[in-house]
Structure 1
């Protein structure tokens, strides 16, 4: 999603009392898009969200909350994120980052697949298949230092969003804790 689409969605929910983000079928996204989404959940534009280390250059890119957003921030109300084993890449980043920063985001569902890292496409070496065949290889790593499950300590560089309230996709989550540790019947 681009900034305009994210802004339009956030404008629609601007007056709601709480937000439920359904990321159960979200299989991708960019670090820039995830940072834009996450920016709505923080009060100011000076929150360091994440870093991505790029192997090919040895450089680390920082991602911060965005200063100017096309819709009002959603920093003062509860945010609940639904995840599944299919949630991947940018969807994981949107679920994980606010949770890791103590934004009181409640993640409900299954542990995500662990692919919130940049990749690079490598085309086939065969000229006839070059435009149709290729493969993607992990090209970087998000060195998250702010949680006990830091991916910097993990050789696989896989950050998974772990639900505070585990639930199978076909069942309702029962009696889970909200962001303040209170039991809630979702």
Structure 2
């Protein structure tokens, strides 16, 4: 039996770039799901529910494939932080997180729609933000327009690293948006040949 084709259930170019590093052929499909957190749902559960929902939404279109779903939620001062989606909201978020400790929960699922088997993992990355002035936030957002598409507004693989004092993680890829180390294990379990 041949290995099912790989689908990334995401329109995120950051996740696409991460997956391209594996030199595997894949297609992308943008899932249409409501990403609103549920009442009393913790950040890890939100991330996992959304990653699972994205994979399942795409499974309806691709019934004989391996589908990757992922989602990231930042958590700071008892508040879930998603993608700001505007410069104004990003600036507000960065003022809120200035000097604070953030937890980034990044979930990844791999769904084999042929067998129904689903692998899942939620990665925790802890980030200590620097004290940020309004001027430094404004300069950052002018020079890093993609930050509005990143949970918490800090694009760590770009200029966002200037906002961060320390990162603690078991998978440095997770903060970018896709926990690659767990995903690689899932792909190997599903028979994908990797070097």
TM-score by length of 2: 0.24
TM-score by length of 1: 0.25
